[in-house]
Structures are given as structure tokens and as C-alpha cells.
Structure 1
């Protein structure tokens, strides 16, 4: 009896310690986010008040109003949305085709191609800055949406391809054989049978491609110079002025920039369910 009580007490203590550790780690993530939300609704005077106030004495929307009146925030938002939407769509489509082809067809150089795709992720992005600038410049795509779209596609396609490889490998080849018996060709088998079963993978790669392109700053800063072509991350960074920094404006812009990421995850989270193909083929 005493041993059982001792074991139970150890389990309870271990559970309490685990939850305390998780709460500590969660606080490290949530505190900056809560501070951003709090600062976005403060007046400028409260942002520089000492000691700092967590909760604003009076909720103010003046920072959100200035985003649309004093800053070209709408232009930044439109540029980012157009660039990210096209790069995400192309990356997901290309990675689905590559994942299907590499797992369903045998051809010479298949393993070398997979290794090459993996190796491209081993180079730090800052090392590719000068080559990309030279190539985009020779193509006369500096200060254009297409130039950034091509750069972001090159960043996201390799990782998205390897992610989709895992999902396509998990699908049994019996599905393809059954579809071909029913008269489907390769494209019909891909579009009607295999692709709908990889929705969790498509959701994962879409979120990755969107977040990577939406948050990217370095290449957007170097490859664009005209104010009407700058993206949201560059525009928010330029709110840091020489004379003063309006922290409430920066936090309001950061909060607005976070909303598309939150909405995307909320819309796609239902697809993060494993086992969609369980039972698809009877063993």
C-alpha cells in the first residue's frame, strides 16, 4: 500500500513538474505577443511611460488609424499578399508534382535528383544574396513582384518537395493500380485519387510556404528600392525612424501583419489529422 502511494505521489510530482515547465516555455512565447497586442492599443505617451504599463489606461486606436493615413500600409500589404499568394501556389503545385513523380516513377538519376534537392537547403540564404541579385538584375526583374516570387519559390520548393515525398510514400501503390484498372491515366490518378488523400501534406506545405515568404525580410529589402514595391516586413522595419520610434505604430502594424498567418492556420488546421488513408486499401 505504501509503495503504491509512493508511486502515485511520484507520478503526480512528475506531472506537476512537466506542466510547470510547459507553462514556463509557453510564457516565453506568449509574453512578447501579449506585449505587442497591449502596445498596439496604447497612445504614444503610454508607450514611453516609466514604469511600463502592461494594460493601457485608455484603449486607443490612433496607431491603427495612422497605418492607413500616414504610412503606405495598404500598398505594403497588397505587395506582400500578391507575392506570397503566387509563390505559395507555385511551390505547393510544383512540390506535389515532384513528390508524386519521385515516388511513383522509376527513372535514371532519381536518387541524385532527390539528393540535389536536399543539398540546396544546406546553404545559408545570406550566401545566395549576391548571386540572386546578379541573376535577378540581368533578368531586369529588380523592383518587381515577379523577381521576389521567383526567389521565394526557389526557397520553398525544396523543403515542400521533401515534405510531400513523405506523404506520397505513405500512400500504397495499390491505389494507383486500382485506379489504372478502372481506366485512369497518370494525370487522372494523380488529380482524382492521390492528391485528395494528401490534403494534410498540402496544408502543411502551404502554411510553410506562406509563413516563409510572408516573414522574409532580407531579400525583399535588397531586391526592392521603390516605396510602391516594398513588402510588409520591409515597411514595418522602416517605421523605425532616426528621431523617434512610434512603438504603438510598429506594434499595430505587426499585429495586422500577424492576422493572415492566424487566419491561414485556423482555416487549414482541420487537415492536420493523421490517418486519412487508413482503411483505403484492404490488406
Structure 2
């Protein structure tokens, strides 16, 4: 008879409890969203509704320009993620491979900016954006999202780039390649796991961002989804099925982004990728 490993058993039980603690509220939200005319929260909670009503999703999508706010957030999040990826990878590659005066000092400045809470910068940011006449514009919002993320993204990617063997780059230089060739055909292909992680967090951070969008976007039709959900909850606070349906719609793009990029998390080490390349 096989001996029971009690520490491992307790660990699995603990992990199952943690999973249940995260999944059950989400299932409750789905159940409520699929229930018609839910004005009060049922107690005890119902995880599987007796009848499935999908009208809440249609009503939420068509209420209060919700679909327009959804598209606004999707537009801003996608562009912000792409620009952040491009700028951060160039910056991180520069710090990982090039030597120039003040390199470490500049990198330490990057690290220092990461320690300052974002809310403390809001007045200075508003002054700069207002001086550029970019308040209430998507350009101003993108400038803030991309600019404020460069330091952390560079820090995150620099360490990964430094782990890539320099011999791969030296062989390309010997064959007449340039640094741009190395960046496109060595650094980026071998960094797919890091870039996938970066893309998920960059997209989610922009998609869920509320405070900056609320401060800098004044025109109603330009609002992003987090602001729309806040206003949605204020207007339909008693119709929980409608509120939860709107919240579930807002979660869909984040889930899709994770599904698209999660395959890169299980790939082998960088040496294996180098051999395949």
C-alpha cells in the first residue's frame, strides 16, 4: 500500500480551496447575469440558474452607448500595447547590449520613477498634457499610458534580453548583419515568452485603467469602458443581472488575449529556441 504524503495532500487541498475561492464568485456572477429581472442578490447564492436568460447581455450592450465605450477601450488598449512593446523592446535591448555614458545612472532613474505612486504624478501629467493641448484626446491618453509604462517594461525585458547568448548576435554580425537584423530575427523571436507576458499585462493594465481616463477624457462619447461600467452601476444598481452582464462583457477581451498568448508560457528554454531557430 502506497504511503500517503500528507504535506503534499494538504498542499493540494489548500490549492483547491484557493481555486474555489476565486471561481465561485465568478460563477455566481455568471449565474446572476443569466437570470431575468434580478433586483436583489439571492441568498443563499445560486450558482446554476433554473432558466438561462441571455437578454441581459443584449440590453447591456445596447444601453448608454456601452458598445461605443467598449470599442474606445479596445482601440486604445491595442494601440497602447503595440507601442509599448515596440518602445520597451528597443529601450531594453539598448540597456542590455550597448555601453554608453550614464547608462547605469539613467537606468537607476528609470527604477526611481517606478517607486513613485502614479497618483502623485497626476497634477504634473495634467499640466504637461494640457500644455500640449492633448487633454480630452486619445493621443494624450496614449502618450500617458505608453510613457508611464516605459520604465517598468524596460526593467522587465532587460533581464530577459541579457540572458540571450551573445554568440548568436556575433555570428550575425560576422555574416554582415546589423543591429536591426539582430533585433528583428534574434531578440524578438527568442523573447516570445517574455513578450507574451508583457503583452497580457500591458493590455490588461490599459483596459482596466480608470483614474487617468476619468481625469483626462471629458467628452462623453470618448469615454473608456471602466468609466462606462462605473456609470452603468450607478444607473442600473438594482438590476444586478444587467450590471453583471456588462461586467462579463468587459472581461471577454482580457480572456481572449490570455488565450492567444498563453501557449508561449509553456515553451522550452531559450537555448532550445535558439537551436530551433
Task: Tell whether the structures are fold-level matches, with TM greater than 0.5.
Answer: yes
Change (3 A) 1:210 1:236: same
Q: Cα deviations across residues 184-212 of structure 1 (Å, max 9, x unaligned)? A: 01111211222211111111111111011
Match of 1:166 in 2: 159
Match of 1:275 in 2: 269
Give the TM-score taking structure 1 as reference length.
Answer: 0.90
Q: Does 1:260 align with 2:219?
A: no
Deviation of 1:249 (Å) = 1.6
Shift of 1:129: 1.8
Matched-pair contact (CA < 8 Å) for 2:96–2:161: yes
Q: Which SS does the other structure have where 1:16 is aligned?
A: helix
**TM-score, normalised via structure 2 length:** 0.92
- Give the secondary-structure state (helix, strand or coil) at the position aligned to 1:45: coil
Q: Which residue of 1 aligns with 2:220?
A: 227
Cα distance in 2 between the residues matched to 1:221 and 1:143: 10
Structural mapping, 1:49-128, within 5 Å: 49-128=42-121
Structure 2: distance between partners of 1:205 and 1:144: 25
**Any idea what SS the aligned residue of 1:240 has?**
helix
Structure showing greater radius of gyration is 1
In the alignment, the residues of structure 1 paired with residue 156 and residue 203 of structure 2 have an alpha-carbon distance, to the nearest angstrom, of: 15
1:45 aligned residue: 38
* Residues 85 and 210, structure 1, Cα contact 8 Å, conserved in 2: yes
- Count of paired positions: 274
In structure 1, C-alpha distance between the alignment counterparts of 2:54 and 2:249, rounded to whole Å = 13
Stretch moving more, 230-239 or 68-77:
68-77
Query: In the alignment, which residue of structure 1 is the partner of 2:143?
Result: 150
- Aligned with residue 210 of structure 1, among 183, 203, 218: 203
Any gaps of 5 or more consecutive residues in structure 2?
none
Runs of 4+ with deviation above 6 angstroms: none
Deviations 1:207-249 (A, max 9, x none): 1110110111111111112220110111011112268432212
* Shift in Å, 1:55: 2.4
SS of residue matched to 1:155: helix
Counterpart pick for 1:190 among 176, 183, 193: 183
Give yes or no for contact 2:38–2:240 (8 Å, CA) kept in 1: no
Within the candidate set 15, 38, 55, 1:22 is matched to 15
2:236·2:243 contact (CA, 8 Å) conserved in 1? no
Residues 40, 251 of structure 1: 8 Å contact kept: yes
Question: Deviation digits for residues 35-93 of structure 1, max 9, x if unmatched?
Answer: 22112111123644455433222211221121233221111111101111111111111
